[in-house]
């Protein structure tokens, strides 16, 4: 199909002047450490403030300064905020990558570049804008050593002119970005204006990318998933946070520290929390387990390498039944992998993290709003089921900017689960820690420090019976393990339900989770509009899989499981979970390049698997 389709697309691109209005992908190629992040955020916000749905994705190196970085802003009037495969407009600021960046563009795309790079001769099928950044910056920034930082603001002004951005919105975004740093704001605003003036006087618009005011972002916020997770955790009542720095999870805890210092210090100066940077991830989760045992709402945040180190404690937490919340902001593995690229590659490992028979509850947030709400779900589930709960975010969700409705204030009470107080013990006389008195596999626990002679029990990772006593008896071991399995089964009904879209009567079903969601939303429209293929969609939000998953598979001829890893990890978990007659219906679509999944790739592969 490829060659003819490309030509058709290209023709329609040129013909349809409306097509790129509020629908384009703009990429800024810079060097990290050059201050481009501010310029990019201001561009993003300016488009957002004009009412156009927008998303920003930072493709950055595992490095502090001097290596190539690409930031992609996607504006889309339909509200598609996943990654778009094609780049429509390139801002080339990095000599090192400019040639390859330009050569990889689709025909018809536009390029704005720093004049000395002289890129215009590279391709005849692109639109080029040449801007003498150094000359312009010299006129607005007398201080030579600041020019490097201000230079990037010039493309904001140039783009404002070329795209038709309202400079009032640009200034609003700029002043918000620099907040209290008025001098820096003034200097940068001057640079943006100079860029705008240069474009107005010296460039003539030749590409189709434009913005027109819309009303699709009114009341919305822009936030990254790690910030949302931090906020969710604060409102979930977290009291102990222990962590070890690792990309891409560090910003979750660092943001949490900022919010907690601001909102969780009492008037007497005392903190209602303790946050500790541990010596490694082993200690981070060990502290969480210790704190959870003693009754705190305790959490840590990490990424794949940390998850590997936490395996031993995860098994302990499962077996001795201690609540814990672990955020995994997934990045590309195995080993160090690509620390600054996104992935859903920890799902299979985390599901059974530990030696011995172990199963863990996992939550799959797809949006910043779910990072906020699942932070609360995670604690409630962890304390209810007395077990570690893993929230499987990823770098794309955690570190990139997403548009969202404001988060609703939590309505669910903080559920501390089955904890016996001194008064309960007075009434009961005693208790057996691991006895299934309620038939749900969940025993009652007491907290250390409970002032009752019968409160204490012995927590041990070795074999234990209902009374938490040491045992090596085969029946004690087996009964305990079967109870743990029953408890885990019970979680199916209590974890966040799947979200379903579509008529429910189509032949083709799609299952996805986490950030793959955004590609699926768009891909289903592509399948319908371009191929006449209607689909139903089930978005999984948790493991163990809720009961509706089997019904969904039952009701479809073929079900595509879409995810961002090589080995089809969730597909594998489904295969383990489903009745054998359903397994044959599953097809895998798995991508593992480290970039956020895009709709086009899903559509193409799905149609190819459909036999088209």
Partner 1 sequence: MATTSSAEPKTNRIGLTVIDYKGGRTTLCAGCGHNAISERIIDAMYEMGVQPERVAKLSGIGCSSKSPAYFMSRSHSFNAVHGRMPSVATGAVLANHNLIALGVSGDGDTASIGIGQFVHLMRRNLPLIYIIEDNGVYGLTKGQFSATADIGSKLKTGVINDLPPIDTCALAIQLGASFVGRSFSGDKRQLLAMLKAAIAHRGTVMLDVISPCVTFNDHEGSTKSYKYMKDHDEPLQEISFIPSFEEIDVDYDPGTTVDVTMHDGSHLRLRKLDVDYDPTNKLRAIATLTEAHHEGETLTGVFYIDPNKPTFMDLLHVTDEPLATLPADAVRPPKAVLDEVMESLR
| Contact pick of 124, 269, 429, 579 for partner 1 (by CB under 8 A) | 269
Task: Name the minimum Å distance from CB 264 to partner 1.
Answer: 7
Would you say 334 or 461 has its CB closer to partner 1?
461
Of 394, 307, 286, which is closest to residue 352 (Cα–Cα)?
307
429 touches partner 1 (CB under 8 A): no
592 touches partner 1 (CB under 8 A): no
Helix residue spans in 273-310 (DSSP H)? 281-293, 304-309
Distance of CA 329 to the CA centre of its chain: 7
Collapse the DSSP code of 495 into the 3-class scheme (helix H, G, I; strand E, B; otherwise coil) and give the result.
coil
| Residue span binding partner 1 (CB under 8 A) among the ranges 78-86, 115-123, 261-269, 595-603 | 261-269
214 touches partner 1 (CB under 8 A): no
382 touches partner 1 (CB under 8 A): no
Of 480, 392, 43, which is closest to residue 222 (Cα–Cα)?
43
Report the site for partner 1 in 454-473 (rule: CB under 8 A). Answer: 455-462, 470
576: exposed, middle or buried (Cβ count in 10 Å: 0-12, 13-18, 19+): exposed
Helix residue spans in 496-568 (DSSP H)? 516-531, 548-554
Task: Name the minimum Å distance from CB 311 to partner 1.
Answer: 11
| Contact pick of 287, 495, 578, 599 for partner 1 (by CB under 8 A) | 287
580 touches partner 1 (CB under 8 A): no
430 touches partner 1 (CB under 8 A): no
| Contact pick of 63, 127, 450, 479 for partner 1 (by CB under 8 A) | 450
280 touches partner 1 (CB under 8 A): yes
Residue for token pair 């975010």? 393
596 touches partner 1 (CB under 8 A): no
Give the separation between CA 228 and CA 305, rounded to whole angstroms.
23
Enter the DSSP assignment of 441: S
Total number of residues that touch partner 1 (CB under 8 A): 72
- φ, ψ (nearest 5 deg) of residue 132: -80, 80
| Inter-axis angle of helices 133-140 and 147-163, nearest 10 | 110
- φ, ψ (nearest 5 deg) of residue 53: -55, 135
Report the site for partner 1 in 292-311 (rule: CB under 8 A). Answer: 292-298
CA distances from 457 to 36, 452, 467 (A): 57, 12, 8
89 touches partner 1 (CB under 8 A): no
349 touches partner 1 (CB under 8 A): no
Task: Name the minimum Å distance from CB 221 to partner 1.
Answer: 4
Report the site for partner 1 in 216-255 (rule: CB under 8 A). Answer: 219-223, 227, 231, 234-240, 242
Do you know the residue count of the chain?
Answer: 612
Would you say 139 or 272 has its CB closer to partner 1?
272
Beta-bridge mates of residue 72: 27, 57
354 touches partner 1 (CB under 8 A): no
291 touches partner 1 (CB under 8 A): yes
107 touches partner 1 (CB under 8 A): no
């Amino acid at each position: 199909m490829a060659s003819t389709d490309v030509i058709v697309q290209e023709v329609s691109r040129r013909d349809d002047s409306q097509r790129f209005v509020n629908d384009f992908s703009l990429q800024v190629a810079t060097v990290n450490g050059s201050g481009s992040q501010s310029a990019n955020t201001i561009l993003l916000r300016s488009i957002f403030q004009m009412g156009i749905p927008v998303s920003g994705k930072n493709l950055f190196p595992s490095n502090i300064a001097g290596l190539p970085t690409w930031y992609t802003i996607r504006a889309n009037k339909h509200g598609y905020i996943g990654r778009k495969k094609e780049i429509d407009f390139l801002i080339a600021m990095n000599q090192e990558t400019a040639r390859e960046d330009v050569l990889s563009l689709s025909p018809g795309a536009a390029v704005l570049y720093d004049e000395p790079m002289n890129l215009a001769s590279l391709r005849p099928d692109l639109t080029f804008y040449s801007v003498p950044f150094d000359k312009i910056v010299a006129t607005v920034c007398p201080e030579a050593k600041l020019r490097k930082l201000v230079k990037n603001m010039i493309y904001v002004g140039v783009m404002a002119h070329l795209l038709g951005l309202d400079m009032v919105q640009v200034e609003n975004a700029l002043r918000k970005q620099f907040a209290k740093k008025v001098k820096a704001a003034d200097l940068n605003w001057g640079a943006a204006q100079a860029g705008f003036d240069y474009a107005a006087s010296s460039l003539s618009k030749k590409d189709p990318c434009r913005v027109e005011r819309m009303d699709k972002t009114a009341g919305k916020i822009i936030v990254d998933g790690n910030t949302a997770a931090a906020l969710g955790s604060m409102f979930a009542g977290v009291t102990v946070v222990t962590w070890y720095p690792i990309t891409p999870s560090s910003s979750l805890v660092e943001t949490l520290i900022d919010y907690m210092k601001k909102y969780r210090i009492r008037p007497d100066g005392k903190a209602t929390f303790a946050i500790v940077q541990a010596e490694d991830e082993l200690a981070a989760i060990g502290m969480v387990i210790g704190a959870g045992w003693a009754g705190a709402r305790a959490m840590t945040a990490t990424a794949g390498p940390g998850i590997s180190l936490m395996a031993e404690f995860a098994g302990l937490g499962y077996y001795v039944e201690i609540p814990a919340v672990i955020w995994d902001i997934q990045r590309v593995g195995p080993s160090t992998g690509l620390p600054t690229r996104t992935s859903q590659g920890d799902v299979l490992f985390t599901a059974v993290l530990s030696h011995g028979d172990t199963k863990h509850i996992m939550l799959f947030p797809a949006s910043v709003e779910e990072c906020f709400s699942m932070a609360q779900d995670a604690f409630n589930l962890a304390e209810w089921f007395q077990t570690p709960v893993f929230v499987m975010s990823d770098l794309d969700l955690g570190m990139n900017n997403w548009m969202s409705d404001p988060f609703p204030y939590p309505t669910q009470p903080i559920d501390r689960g089955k904890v016996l107080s001194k008064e309960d013990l007075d009434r009961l006389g005693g208790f057996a820690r691991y006895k299934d008195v309620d038939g749900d596999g969940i025993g009652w626990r007491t907290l250390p420090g409970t002032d009752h002679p019968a409160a204490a029990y012995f927590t041990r990772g070795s074999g234990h019976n209902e009374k938490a006593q040491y045992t090596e008896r085969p029946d004690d071991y087996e009964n305990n393990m079967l109870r743990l399995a029953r408890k885990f089964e019970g979680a199916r009904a209590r974890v966040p339900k799947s979200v379903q879209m579509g008529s429910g009567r189509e032949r083709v079903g799609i299952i996805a989770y986490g950030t793959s969601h955004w590609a699926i939303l768009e891909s289903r429209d592509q399948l319908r509009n371009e191929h006449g293929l209607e689909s139903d969609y089930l978005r999984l939000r948790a493991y163990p899989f809720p009961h509706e998953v089997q019904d969904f598979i039952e009701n479809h001829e073929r079900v595509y499981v879409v995810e961002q890893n090589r080995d089809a990890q969730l597909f594998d978990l489904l295969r383990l979970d489903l009745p054998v007659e359903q397994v044959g219906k599953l097809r895998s679509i798995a991508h593992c390049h480290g970039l956020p999944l895009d709709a086009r790739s899903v559509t193409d592969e799905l149609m190819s698997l459909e036999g088209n």
